[in-house]
Structure 1
Amino acid sequence: MTAQTTDLALEVRRFLEAEVLPLEPIFLKHGFKAVLPELERVRQKVKEKGWWLPPLQKPLGMGLGLGVFARLSEELGRSPLGHYVFNTQAPDIGNMEVLLKHGTPEQKARFLEPLAKGEVRSSFGMTEPGYPGSNPVWMNTRAVLEGDQWVINGHKWYTTGFEGSSFCIVMCITDPEQPNPYARASQIIVPTDAPGFQQVRKISVMGEEGEDWMSHSEIRLENVRVPQENLLGARGKGFAIAQERLGPGRIHHCMRWIGIAQRSLELMCAYAARRELAPGKPLGSRQAIQHLIAESQAEIHAARLMVLDAAEKVEQKGAEGARVEISLIKFFVAGVLQRVLDRAIQVHGGLGMSDDLPLSFFYRHERAARIYDGADEVHKTVVARALLKDYGLDISL
């Protein structure tokens, strides 16, 4: 990381501490919509500073490379609201990157431009309740071309941010007879107000339904019709586009998790230094607490270096060329996040369990880190099979 990158990261951290962290108590108590007006004000400040959409090319964003944005993503991840104020929240940032690379000029004008300006939000429909997310080529949602329209029928869930979104990029089978299972699916842009497109429910996750962008929905598409030109990219390339999206997306997620872990460590240290077990005997004077702090620092540092290395390889070789590195960081950093959060809550005791701090929010919402974008077990298998192949054992997936 250059000195310029470090300076930018520190400046962004100070900005978030001044503008966003004070909103967290209101958010934790009353929900996302309660702070949305203030977040829009902060978003405007981000635009004025020239920080809007760091990873997207100019003039839409700052045009930062993946490695530089990875460092910035850590800072944004320190708050549950950080990425939103920079317009780099999932799934919008992934949708923007895909539209930028694969969208037609008409699709970019209609869908990408308002999304990049922060005027609308979007969602992404891939996971289905009846099929394992670990096998993304196996799904039941179908799109049939009738004349100049796609007719879509299907059932999705864990569609993040569907509530309040203006369109959803839907993964669906368009060529069921294609011998190559990786060439059966396509991605189609579907306006959320299209007839037959309905939200079944918001899914309660760890006791919370969430609101607006911070929610997950179960959705159904019943004879939903969209124009043929809403096909995103080439027909049958849905899986390939999804893999393109997930490579950089996993870098983003991992650095966000490191930001959460780093803030959790800082909260842990501050509490251990001031909390007294008895007069003149702070919690941090106990060796057991010191070990939790040291282990957390070591794991965070290792995770950060691993992710920055993976980001460099993605920039050099593309997502497919860095497949093993991406899988390594996905399960390793998710594990570090879980362990550091658990230690931080343990050190804080009852305070850590309360919503007076963001630790319990992070713990509830980030347990999914070991599941989404590929469960730990899937990524460990990818790594092990790649290593074993060098020793003559070729196991087909």
Structure 2
Amino acid sequence: MDFTLSERETYFRDRVKSFIDQNIRPRQDDYNKQSHEGDRWKVIPVIEEMKEKTKAAGLWNFFMPPHSGQSHVDDSFEFEGTQLTNLEYALCAEEMGKVGWASECFNCSAPDTGNMEVLHRYGTLEQKEKWLRPLMNGEIRSAFLMTEPAVASSDATNIETRMERDGDHYVINGTKWWSSGVGDPRCKIAITMGKTNPEGSRHSQQSQILVPMDAPGVTIKRMLSVYGYDHAPHGHGEVVLENVRVPVENVLLGEGRGFEIAQGRLGPGRIHHCMRTIGVAEMAIESMAKRLLTRVAFGKRIADHSVWEQRIAKARIDIEMTRLLCLKAADMMDKAGNKSAQLEIAMIKVAAPNMALQIIDDAIQAHGGGGVSSDFHLAHDWAAMRTLRFADGPDEVHNRAIARNEFGRYADLPEAIAAKEQVRR
């Protein structure tokens, strides 16, 4: 097994790393200042400045794989960007994850990445021209409205939002939350999932519809906090849809195809989160090591206390194992398709956030009281990583899929069949 990176993989990873080191990381103080001045929900000037630079450098729209992005509806729309394989993108996304606001600078931040892929794969030419093109150009932002406060949304069949046909329109009623990005003033369109046929078969009840955020009846009820952080200027909101009318032509792919679209969207999105998570973990171990080497307690450097040697060693081992699993999943997606890599995607989606959380927690401990303050990035990073154990499906859902696959290896054993029959009786 050859773990050597190809020339192209190295080239793009190094270009992204160099751009971040030379242009983005030195502007961290500017970002902090601008994000905390005035209105919390606003466009950050330094990000817009960086976006122009990444476009000029040809470092733009990396996330769309060159072969899996073909449209199911119209092939005449050309996706504009430097399209990388999942494996190539994984290496770049890890670098982006090391600076919280870097991904948007490359037009590679959620939920826009997933929404652009959905529009490209399933949208009509008219939908692409109206919404995908400005998203690709970084002119607007978008949201994905699926999760609901009243039901366990990890099971999409629980969704209660109703989309009822009325002539040439659908009338939408429901409440969504954890609608990432709706606080951004540039958020102009939301891909919204709801039920068009509640009486249909389990996986044909849902549809996905494009809902303009300025449509009458769309109300951002509140922005939600994450462990006390508002995550502005992006953020996560609770959105009320009250008799919202959208044209029939806003339906994606066709009525009853919402579950199919969601499955196609969430797979790549899950691994994108994990790629960035490895970068977050790398920054946490770096912060921890530096702190341990520069603080003295009980007559010696904290780094010289054996408990910290054990924690640092485990952190490095866990990062390396998680990275390999992530790269394996990305490679399988490229070579065999997203469906064939479902198990690996599920495993990395559970492993990566939990790995990062433990390392960040240790880093917070190493920083003492400062670790839980806003003087360091650690508390904010922990809060962000903790949400990933829910985002795009909770750990329990992915673990269930992994376990069922494992049980399936031995389900034909006579003893297993007998036990199953015994339960049935």
Contact 2:274 / 2:349 at 8 angstroms: preserved in 1? yes
What is the RMSD computed on CA atoms of the aligned residues? 1.9
1:41 to 19, 44, 49: 49
Determine the C-alpha separation between the residues in 2 that align with 1:3 and 1:319.
24
**Runs ≥4 residues deviating over 4 A:** 25-30, 32-35
The answer on 1:295 being equivalent to 2:295 is no
Match of 1:362 in 2: 381
Match of 1:122 in 2: 142
Identity percentage over the alignment? 38
- Partner SS, residue 87 of structure 2: helix
Match of 1:14 in 2: 18
Determine the C-alpha separation between the residues in 1 that align with 2:47 and 2:283.
21
Deviation, structure 1 residue 315: 2.1
- Of stretches 268-277 and 307-316 in structure 1, the one that deviates more from structure 2 is 268-277
- Partner SS, residue 364 of structure 1: helix
The answer on 1:204 being equivalent to 2:212 is no
Determine the C-alpha separation between the residues in 1 that align with 2:210 and 2:177.
17
Deviation, structure 1 residue 216: 0.7
Structure 1 residues 202 and 238: CA distance shift in structure 2, 3 A: same
Contact 1:27 / 1:34 at 8 angstroms: preserved in 2? no
**Quick one: which amino acid aligns to residue 410 of structure 2?**
Y
Count of aligned pairs between the two proteins: 392
1:330 to 326, 349, 367: 349
Match of 1:131 in 2: 151
**Quick one: which amino acid aligns to residue 345 of structure 2?**
I
Deviation string 1:196-253 (CA, Å, 9 cap, x unpaired) is 111111112211233232x111111111111110001121111111111111111101
Superposed counterparts of 1:28-177, under 5 Å? 28=32, 30-31=35-36, 36-56=44-64, 60-163=80-183, 164=185, 165-177=187-199
Determine the C-alpha separation between the residues in 2 that align with 1:266 and 1:211.
26
2:303 to 279, 284, 298: 284
Structure 1 residues 268 and 11: CA distance shift in structure 2, 3 A: farther
Deviation string 1:8-54 (CA, Å, 9 cap, x unpaired) is 32332232133222343454565476881011111111111100111
2:270 to 240, 250, 254: 250
Contact 1:190 / 1:230 at 8 angstroms: preserved in 2? yes
Deviation, structure 1 residue 59: 5.0
**Quick one: which amino acid aligns to residue 296 of structure 2?**
E
Contact 1:28 / 1:358 at 8 angstroms: preserved in 2? no
Contact 1:125 / 1:170 at 8 angstroms: preserved in 2? yes
Contact 1:194 / 1:224 at 8 angstroms: preserved in 2? yes
Deviation string 1:177-201 (CA, Å, 9 cap, x unpaired) is 11x2111101000000001111111
Superposed counterparts of 1:213-292, under 5 Å? 213=234, 215-277=235-297, 281-292=300-311
Deviation, structure 1 residue 371: 1.4
Match of 2:71 in 1: none
Match of 1:194 in 2: 215
Contact 2:31 / 2:46 at 8 angstroms: preserved in 1? no
Contact 1:123 / 1:162 at 8 angstroms: preserved in 2? yes
Contact 2:191 / 2:210 at 8 angstroms: preserved in 1? yes
**Quick one: which amino acid aligns to residue 176 of structure 1?**
P
**Quick one: which amino acid aligns to residue 49 of structure 1?**
A
- Partner SS, residue 163 of structure 2: strand
Residue segments in structure 2 that go unaligned for 5+ positions in a row? 67-77, 421-425
Contact 1:185 / 1:239 at 8 angstroms: preserved in 2? yes
Structure 1 residues 203 and 43: CA distance shift in structure 2, 3 A: same
**Quick one: which amino acid aligns to residue 16 of structure 1?**
I
Structure 1 residues 34 and 122: CA distance shift in structure 2, 3 A: closer
Deviation string 1:348-378 (CA, Å, 9 cap, x unpaired) is 2122222222111101222111112111111
The answer on 1:340 being equivalent to 2:355 is no
Determine the C-alpha separation between the residues in 2 that align with 1:210 and 1:53.
23
* TM-score of the pair, normalised by structure 1: 0.94
Match of 2:332 in 1: 313
